[in-house]
């Protein structure tokens, strides 16, 4: 008897919702085994991981402001992934968004004015868009693979920011520490809930969720993107412009990443440092997949990944677990997720062994 | 228990008047345990920057006889996360919170006013607040002395320095190294390479090899791991354990070394909170008792006259008779920055952004 | 030793991890699989090599285990993408993240600990060889082995039937499948080979070159290896040259700094990435050129019946 993977007639709807849950469950199980192996009480460990980070208002606020860039970028990337356009350079686009909005913030922030913050958002969106336009151009004009071009540009962007912070943008009053001057109040997002760090950039993400849902589900453009992603020949036959799809896909990711970058410097950071994000651009790729490229799923996925970041810290503080545990869990979660996805298009069939016939003698 | 005699009352209110006693600043009861929170930016290692902090809080905890309990987080690399971690430590009842690197200073400065009941201290920062103190090491005292050894022991008159990133502490350390070397060897020069990476030992080794092939025979820098010393040893040249003693691995060719010792910083902060007398200070200390810099090893091959020179200068520094940054000091372009006989003021020294004559290398342009 | 020889040696040293990882990823990609997880496999190999060498004092054992460790991680990628038909880009990224996290986790007891450098008998013997001995001994055996690996990969891909099959699988898995070639098995071996080579690359950094373990010590070399394969238009000889070119950029930048030449380090560090983009554009615009070398099915899912 053996197990065989057999293609389903049609993708299973149930498994589409079940597979992320299965992945989360398997990750939790793995975690529990690890905790027991390390001598930690599983019940306490579970509490520390799942509940402790959000047990007060401040924790909830932290969950949201960490999920916000993940969700925003995830939405932008999902638009692209659906169209089979693989934007891996979100981290770089975020960084360029930081650079462009940083110009506005540092030059005009001190003067004040209610126009500074919206200008920063526009500048950041433009910066991210510009950085994603390069791979889009290279793909549509020269057929260059956007995975590699967008990835390479990430490093270029990070080096650019580092050069600026160690050089021309160093705070003149900052004892030559590599950091910009603190952003003026007019360049910061207002705090929504007293006592937390939850700021207005979350509203932008919320709007993005609604907007993306509308575009993908209800608009013709969304439909086109989906067809292009599923079958390029079919799309061409139907007259959908493949090139336009690539542009829209890449720019969506770029704009989202750029705005997310603004959210970081005008939000919890309040200043520019040599690095702007703890890898949100890459984590958002996980979020997009976790959410099955659907807006609601991405919201949930973003909240889960955000919780994982916070759990890692809580685990260090309360359980004395090492800091590397966050990366480990993120990787494991993604493994299980990618693995569980197979159950959507394939099902497991048990093939009975052959029956041995006994020779009958008269 | 704190007994309220008239003398005690007067003493404590005098103390209170000088500190500007805020709520919560009272001495600890007999059984009360002080919870201290420490946040590392990088992973805690056997040696290097994080290791020095780790030694200090471990010593604090073990010597406190149970009165101090330390909670530690490491690998908190980004400022956004550091803010949350600091705040949560405070919320969980840690009354003293220590930041271990300059990149946490901006965060602590933002946070401290919102948490008046908690005391914060940061390793390197610009200025203090009511409940935020800073402490930094006058590592230049250590590098000056090692510079003397380097200047005397170099045969090629070319020294080398491999730095990670051009941050102020490294710059004044490097400048003092050159000044120390030139004080005994006016022909010495120092080649400078920035690795531009915090954890890339292969690149650091490449940098050492490059300097050696360009003639450097005494290497120093701001190493966090033994890689630079090992690379130098492989090439048969001297290395200096600058802010770190790597002789356990670099068995033969570590010329001399000094370490950073934060024990007093942690101990004093903790004791201050326990006694209810904690005050926000800006501590910038070098050699000496209660200081943050300790000369550690000297190679057996270091001649007696060099040791004597180093000891003499060390004594002069301890007695306050000598300051490494005493003029005349010229920068790379030959311009006189510190007049003969004058001493560079602390404020200027802390934010120094130029290199002294004899250093062959660059700082990023502002 | 004069500066020129020093630069040459430094370039060879800096390029060697890229040669190993690049050749491995080349074979993987030639079979049509895009494994973005090279950085994770290198780190995992590095920490494994360090742990094993630390325990056994045997460098070669460490390298061997590192190859095995890299292959184990690659096997996870193969399981996800070949058996479970998962998306290759996402799987590769997951591998990179997992590899980094796992290596940091396992490497905790070793941070900042240096391996004891034992004098090598082999090195003593080699330096005794008349005339060329003293030059030969300047390079570590793993560097010579990397050249042998290059020769092996080249010979395998272009002079053996198995290599032809592998290239065919990469060009058109459907055609290869219809001829009867075991597409998934071939790809599995290609992926495992890539993992093993990445593991050796990591081992070189941690155990041969620096004798240290530091979290994240590959510092992006895995991503550069990915760029390298593209830069080399999927030809092994260009991987070799490109590895030394990229390695040389770093080396020259350091030497320039030491010589006092004002070189903005960020610019130099960005060069390999920019160069790769330029090459990618150049080769992609010519469809014939692309077809000649880039595996046509790279990254695409193959739906064969098991």
Residues A311 and A267 in one domain: yes
| Closest approach of A324 to chain C, Cα-based (Å) | 5
Q: Which of A291-295, B107-111, B180-184, C161-165 comes out lowest in average pLDDT?
A: A291-295
pLDDT for B17 beyond 60: no
- B135 vs B22: which has the higher pLDDT: B135
Residues B242 and B193 in one domain: yes
Indicate whether A36 belongs to any domain.
Answer: no
pLDDT for B82 beyond 80: yes
> What pLDDT band is residue C292 in, cutting at 50, 70 and 90?
low
Interface probe for C, chosen from B40, B194, B206, B248 (most Cβ of C below 10 Å), is B206
Instruction: Report chain B's terminal Cα–Cα distance, integer Å.
Output: 56
The pLDDT assigned to B182 comes to 93
pLDDT average, residue stretch B105-116: 91
Indicate whether A30 belongs to any domain.
Answer: no
**In B64-165, alpha helices (H):** 79-91, 105-111, 139-153
The string of pLDDT tens digits covering residues C4-50 is 888 999 999 999 999 999 999 999 999 999 999 999 999 999 999 99
- Check CB contact under 8 Å for B193 and C211: no
Q: Which residues contact B317 (CB under 8 A, 6 or more apart)?
A: B141, B144, B286, B287, B323, B324
pLDDT for A272 beyond 60: yes
The string of pLDDT tens digits covering residues A308-322 is 889 888 888 888 888
The pLDDT assigned to B184 comes to 93
Indicate whether C300 belongs to any domain.
Answer: no
Residues B241 and B255 in one domain: yes
Contact between A341 and A13 (Cβ < 8 Å): no
CATH of the domain at B212: 3.40.50.2300
The string of pLDDT tens digits covering residues C244-264 is 998 888 888 888 888 878 777
Indicate whether C306 belongs to any domain.
Answer: no
- Check CB contact under 8 Å for B364 and A177: no
CATH of the domain at A126: 1.10.3470
- Check CB contact under 8 Å for B89 and A179: no
Indicate whether B8 belongs to any domain.
Answer: no
| Residue ranges with strand state E in chain B | 34-39, 68-73, 96-99, 119-123, 132-137, 158-163, 189-194, 218-221, 238-242, 254-260, 282-285, 293-298, 329-330, 336-338, 359-360
**Which residues in chain A have Cβ-Cβ distances shorter than 8 Å to B105?**
177
Say which DSSP state A359 is in. Answer: P
pLDDT average, residue stretch B125-147: 91
The string of pLDDT tens digits covering residues C158-211 is 999 999 999 999 988 888 889 999 999 999 999 999 999 999 999 999 998 988
CATH of the domain at C198: 1.10.3470
The pLDDT assigned to C51 comes to 95
The pLDDT assigned to B21 comes to 35
Residues B132 and B174 in one domain: no
Q: Which of A62-66, A178-182, B69-73, B137-141 comes out lowest in average pLDDT?
A: A178-182
Total number of domains in chain C: 1
The string of pLDDT tens digits covering residues B297-345 is 888 888 999 999 999 999 999 998 899 998 789 998 889 988 888 999 8
- Check CB contact under 8 Å for C104 and B196: no
Q: Which of A340-354, B251-265, C78-92 comes out lowest in average pLDDT?
A: A340-354
The pLDDT assigned to C19 comes to 97
Q: Which residues of chain B have a Cβ shorter than 8 Å from any chain A Cβ? A: 43, 71-81, 83-85, 87-89, 91-92, 102-103, 105-106, 110, 126, 165-168, 171, 196, 350-353, 364-366
Residues A77 and A201 in one domain: yes
Percent of chain B surpassing pLDDT 90: 47
C169 interface with A at CB cutoff 8 Å: no
**Distances from the Cα of B234 to the Cαs of B77, B281, C1, in angstroms?**
33, 44, 14
pLDDT average, residue stretch A312-336: 83
- Give the phi and the psi of residue A111 in degrees, each rounded to 5: -75, -25
Indicate whether C305 belongs to any domain.
Answer: no
| Alpha carbons C294 and C159: distance in angstroms, whole number | 18
Contact between C100 and C39 (Cβ < 8 Å): yes
| Alpha carbons B75 and C200: distance in angstroms, whole number | 27
Residues B107 and B66 in one domain: yes
Query: Tokens at residue C300, please?
Result: 């695409």
| Alpha carbons A170 and A162: distance in angstroms, whole number | 10
Residue where the block lists tokens 């059984």: B31
The string of pLDDT tens digits covering residues A69-121 is 999 999 999 998 888 888 999 999 999 999 999 999 999 888 888 889 999 99
Residues B248 and B351 in one domain: yes
Total number of domains in chain A: 2
A330: nearest CB among C97, C226, C270: C97
Indicate whether B309 belongs to any domain.
Answer: no
**Domain range for C153:** 3-113+124-293
Whether omega before A349 lies within 30 degrees of 0, making that bond cis, reads no
Residues B234 and B355 in one domain: yes
Indicate whether B306 belongs to any domain.
Answer: no
The pLDDT assigned to A227 comes to 77
| Closest approach of C217 to chain B, Cα-based (Å) | 5
Residues A78 and A6 in one domain: no
Sign of CA dihedral A81, A85, A88, A90: negative
The string of pLDDT tens digits covering residues A22-60 is 888 898 888 888 888 888 888 888 888 888 888 888 889
Q: Which helix (H) or strand (E) holds C153?
A: helix C141-159
pLDDT for B3 beyond 70: no
**Domain range for B99:** 21-137+262-285
Q: Which residues of chain C have a Cβ shorter than 8 Å from any chain B Cβ? A: 1-3, 5-7, 10, 13-14, 17, 104, 108, 111-114, 117, 205, 209-212, 214-217, 219, 250-251, 254-255, 257-260, 262, 265-266, 269
Residues B128 and B176 in one domain: no
pLDDT for B24 beyond 50: no
Residues A48 and A86 in one domain: yes
- Check CB contact under 8 Å for C97 and A335: no
- Check CB contact under 8 Å for B201 and C250: no
- C133 vs A210: which has the higher pLDDT: A210
**Which residues in chain B have Cβ-Cβ distances shorter than 8 Å to C260?**
191, 360-362
> Whole-structure pTM over 0.90, yes or no?
no
Residues A294 and A269 in one domain: yes
Contact between B174 and B192 (Cβ < 8 Å): yes
Residues B198 and B52 in one domain: no
pLDDT for B198 beyond 70: yes
> What pLDDT band is residue A356 in, cutting at 50, 70 and 90?
low
**Which residues in chain C have Cβ-Cβ distances shorter than 8 Å to A282?**
93, 97
Q: Which residues contact B354 (CB under 8 A, 6 or more apart)?
A: B331, B332, B337, B363
Contact between B226 and B250 (Cβ < 8 Å): yes
Residue A266: closest C-alpha in chain B: B80
Helix (H, G, I), strand (E, B) or coil at B73: strand
A175: nearest CB among B76, B110, B126: B126
Say which DSSP state B95 is in. Answer: S
- Write down the mean pLDDT value for chain A: 86
> What pLDDT band is residue B19 in, cutting at 50, 70 and 90?
very low
Indicate whether A35 belongs to any domain.
Answer: no
Residues B234 and B119 in one domain: no
Q: Which of residues 177-206 of B touch C (CB under 8 A)?
A: 191-194, 196-197, 199-203, 205-206
Residues B87 and B130 in one domain: yes
- Write down the mean pLDDT value for chain B: 86
pLDDT for A333 beyond 60: yes
- C249 vs C292: which has the higher pLDDT: C249
Indicate whether B192 belongs to any domain.
Answer: yes
Interhelix angle A146-166/A116-142, nearest 10 degrees: 140
Indicate whether C301 belongs to any domain.
Answer: no
The pLDDT assigned to A194 comes to 82
Q: For C305, what's the count of Cα atoms within 13 Å in the CB-facing half-sphere?
A: 3
Contact between A13 and A345 (Cβ < 8 Å): no
Indicate whether A174 belongs to any domain.
Answer: yes
**Domain range for A250:** 41-320
Residues A316 and A328 in one domain: no
Total number of domains in chain B: 2
Residues B129 and B219 in one domain: no
Contact between C89 and C299 (Cβ < 8 Å): yes
Indicate whether C209 belongs to any domain.
Answer: yes
Percent of chain C surpassing pLDDT 70: 95
Residues B214 and B82 in one domain: no
- Check CB contact under 8 Å for B76 and A176: no
The pLDDT assigned to A8 comes to 79
Indicate whether A31 belongs to any domain.
Answer: no
The pLDDT assigned to A74 comes to 96
């Amino acid at each position: 008897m053996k197990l065989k993977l057999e293609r389903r007639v049609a993708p299973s709807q149930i498994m589409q919702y079940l597979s992320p849950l299965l992945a989360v469950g398997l990750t939790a199980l793995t975690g529990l085994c690890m905790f027991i192996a390390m001598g930690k009480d599983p019940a306490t460990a579970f509490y520390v991981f799942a509940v402790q980070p959000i047990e007060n208002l401040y924790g909830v606020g932290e969950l949201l402001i960490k999920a916000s860039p993940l969700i925003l970028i995830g939405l932008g990337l999902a638009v692209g992934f659906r169209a089979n356009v693989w934007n891996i350079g979100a981290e770089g686009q975020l960084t360029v968004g930081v650079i462009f909005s940083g110009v506005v913030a540092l030059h005009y922030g001190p003067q004040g004015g209610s126009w500074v913050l919206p200008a920063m958002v526009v500048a950041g969106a433009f910066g991210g868009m510009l950085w994603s336009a390069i791979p889009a151009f290279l793909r549509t004009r020269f057929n260059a693979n956007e995975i590699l071009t967008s990835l390479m540009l990430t490093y270029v962007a990070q080096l650019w920011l580092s050069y600026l912070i160690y050089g021309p943008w160093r705070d003149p009053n900052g004892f030559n520490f590599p950091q910009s001057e603190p952003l003026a109040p007019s360049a910061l997002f207002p705090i929504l809930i007293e006592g937390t760090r939850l700021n207005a950039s979350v509203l932008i993400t919320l709007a993005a969720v609604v907007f993306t849902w509308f575009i993908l589900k209800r608009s013709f453009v969304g439909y086109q993107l989906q067809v292009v992603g599923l079958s390029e020949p079919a799309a061409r036959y139907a007259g959908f412009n493949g090139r336009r799809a690539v542009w829209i896909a890449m720019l969506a990711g770029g704009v989202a990443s750029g705005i997310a970058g603004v959210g970081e410097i005008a939000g919890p950071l309040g200043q520019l440092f040599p690095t702007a994000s703890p890898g949100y651009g890459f984590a958002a790729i996980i979020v997009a997949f976790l959410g099955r490229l659907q807006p609601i799923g991405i919201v949930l996925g973003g909240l889960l990944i955000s919780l994982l970041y916070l759990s890692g810290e809580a685990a260090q503080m309360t359980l004395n677990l090492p800091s590397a545990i966050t990366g480990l869990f993120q990787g494991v979660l993604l493994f299980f997720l990618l693995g569980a996805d197979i159950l959507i298009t394939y099902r497991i069939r048990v093939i009975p062994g052959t029956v041995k016939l006994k020779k009958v003698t008269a | 228990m704190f007994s309220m005699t008239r003398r005690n009352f007067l003493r404590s209110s005098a103390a209170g008047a000088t500190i500007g006693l805020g709520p919560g600043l009272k001495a600890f009861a007999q059984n009360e345990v002080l919870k201290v929170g420490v946040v590392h930016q990088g992973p805690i290692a056997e040696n290097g920057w994080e290791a020095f902090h780790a030694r200090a809080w471990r010593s604090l905890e073990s010597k406190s006889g149970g009165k101090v309990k330390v909670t530690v987080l490491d690998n908190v690399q980004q400022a956004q996360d550091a803010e949350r971690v600091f705040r949560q430590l405070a919320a969980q009842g840690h009354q003293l919170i220590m930041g271990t690197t300059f990149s946490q200073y901006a965060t602590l400065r933002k946070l401290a006013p919102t948490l008046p009941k908690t005391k914060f201290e940061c390793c390197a920062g610009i200025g203090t607040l009511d409940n935020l103190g800073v402490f930094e090491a006058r590592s230049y005292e250590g590098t000056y002395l090692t510079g003397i050894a380097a200047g005397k022991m170099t045969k090629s008159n070319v020294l080398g320095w491999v730095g990670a990133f051009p941050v102020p502490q490294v710059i004044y350390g490097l400048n003092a190294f050159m000044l120390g070397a030139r004080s005994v060897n006016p022909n010495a020069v120092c080649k400078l390479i920035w690795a531009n990476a915090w954890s890339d030992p292969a690149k650091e080794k490449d940098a050492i090899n490059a300097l050696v092939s360009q003639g450097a025979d005494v290497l120093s820098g701001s190493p966090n791991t033994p890689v630079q010393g090992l690379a130098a040893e492989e090439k048969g040249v001297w290395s200096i354990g600058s802010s770190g003693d790597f002789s356990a691995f670099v068995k033969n060719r570590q010329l001399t070394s000094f370490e950073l010792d934060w024990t007093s910083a942690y101990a004093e902060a903790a004791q201050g909170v326990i006694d209810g007398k904690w005050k926000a200070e800006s501590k910038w200390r070098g050699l000496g008792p209660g200081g943050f810099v300790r000369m550690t090893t000297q190679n057996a091959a270091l001649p007696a006259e060099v040791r004597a020179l180093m000891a003499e200068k060390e004594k002069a520094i301890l007695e306050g008779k000598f300051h490494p940054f005493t003029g005349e000091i010229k920068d790379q372009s030959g311009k006189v920055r510190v007049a003969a006989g004058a001493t560079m003021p602390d404020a200027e020294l802390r934010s120094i952004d130029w290199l002294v004559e004899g250093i062959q290398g660059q700082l990023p342009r502002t | 030793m004069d500066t020129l020889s020093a630069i040459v040696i430094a370039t060879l040293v800096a390029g060697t991890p890229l040669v190993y990882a690049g050749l491995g990823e080349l074979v993987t990609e030639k079979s049509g699989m895009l494994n973005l997880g090279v950085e994770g496999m290198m780190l995992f190999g590095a920490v494994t090599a360090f742990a094993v060498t630390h325990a056994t004092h045997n460098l070669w054992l460490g390298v061997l285990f590192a190859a095995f460790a890299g292959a184990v991680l690659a096997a996870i990628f193969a399981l996800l993408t070949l058996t479970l038909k998962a998306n290759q880009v996402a799987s590769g990224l997951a591998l990179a993240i997992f590899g980094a996290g796992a290596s940091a986790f396992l490497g905790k007891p070793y941070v900042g600990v240096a391996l004891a450098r034992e004098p090598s008998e082999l090195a003593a013997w080699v330096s005794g060889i008349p005339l060329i001995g003293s030059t030969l001994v300047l390079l570590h055996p793993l560097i010579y082995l990397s050249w042998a690996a290059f020769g092996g990969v080249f010979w395998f891909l272009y002079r053996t039937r198995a290599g032809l099959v592998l290239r065919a699988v990469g060009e058109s898995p459907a055609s290869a499948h219809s001829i009867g070639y075991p597409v998934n098995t071939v790809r599995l071996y290609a992926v495992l080979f890539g993992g093993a080579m990445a593991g050796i690359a990591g081992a070189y950094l941690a155990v041969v070159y620096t004798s240290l373990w530091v979290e994240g010590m590959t510092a992006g070399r895995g991503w550069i290896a990915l760029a390298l394969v593209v830069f080399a238009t999927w030809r092994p000889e260009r991987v070799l040259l490109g590895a030394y070119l990229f390695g040389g950029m770093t080396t020259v930048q350091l030497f320039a700094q030491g010589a006092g030449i004002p070189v903005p380090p960020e610019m130099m560090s960005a060069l390999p990435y920019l160069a790769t983009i330029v090459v990618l554009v150049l080769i992609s615009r010519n469809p014939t050129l692309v077809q000649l070398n880039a595996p046509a099915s790279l990254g695409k899912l193959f739906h064969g019946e098991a």
